[in-house]
Copies of this chain bind each other. A is one copy, B any other.
Amino acid sequence: MDTADLKPEDPEDGGGATRAVRKQGQNGSVSRRLILDMAAALFSHQGFTETTVRQIAAKVGMQAGSVYYHFESKEQMLGEILSIAVRSTYMAVKGSVESLPIEATPKDKIKAAIRAHLQSLHGNFDYTATNVKYQGQVPNVVERAVQPDRESYTEYWNQLIAAAAAAGELSPDLNLPFLRPLILGSLNRTINWYDPGRGDIETLVRTVLVLFDGLWSRAEAAGSEGGGST
């Protein structure tokens, strides 16, 4: 599957074997989030395996061993990063779609979703890039942990598309099973090449919406997208 999920942060500790049971209220201590940020920055640029716990610790200003007070393992860090990435994008997209006016058509919703997805992607680069680049190559344990998040988001898109199809808004020449992964894959891949030098995100959004014009059934004219969410 090719997605990137989201959803709010819930406890989800999992009960580590050792300590690393942080006693925080419901969020992570400052250090915890800081570590995650640094890890995400490193993972997204060098890759997970290529990143050393020592490097992460160094960027935070602590010793490698200290990291283990906050996390059970390097993999756990990755898992949390992926979850955050997926959930935050999910929330952004969902929020954007739901804030559309009542009259919004499925087509409008998909357009809004595309915009929100791209914005979230590039707005949380370190996290989402880690997610996108490692799609499918993540250690099993971790993958299993993020899977539910991924599926939620995936399912959300499936519904958006199904609704459009039901409304007859989608071009009949499209092979539906390919649609969601094709769209999300195209968007996600921008992580690999997007460079502000070529144009800003909004321009990217517009170009994508134009390029994807074949999505829509010929009944309607080319759509001038409008719902700038987020």
* Copy count, this protein chain: 4
User: Which of A75-83, A88-96, A129-137 faces chain B?
Assistant: A129-137
What is the distance, in angstroms, from A19's C-beta to the closest C-beta of chain B? 7
- What class of interface size applies to chain A in its complex with B? 35 or more
Q: In chain A between 166 and 217, which residues have their CB closer than 8 angstroms to a CB of chain B?
A: 171, 173-175, 177-179, 181-183, 185-186, 188-190, 192-194, 198-199, 203-204, 206-215
A185 touches B175 (CB 8 A): no
Give chain A's interface secondary structure class.
helix
Residues from chain B with Cβ under 8 Å of A194 in the complex = 181
A181 near B203 (CB under 8 angstroms)?
no
With A178-B204, A188-B189 given, name 12 new contacts (CB 8 A): A2-B192, A18-B54, A19-B54, A45-B137, A49-B49, A50-B137, A173-B206, A175-B204, A182-B186, A182-B208, A183-B211, A211-B214
| 21 pairs of residues in contact across A and B, judged by CB atoms under 8 Å | A1-B193, A2-B189, A2-B192, A47-B47, A49-B49, A135-B192, A171-B210, A173-B210, A175-B203, A175-B204, A177-B199, A178-B198, A179-B211, A185-B189, A185-B193, A188-B189, A211-B212, A211-B214, A211-B215, A212-B214, A214-B222
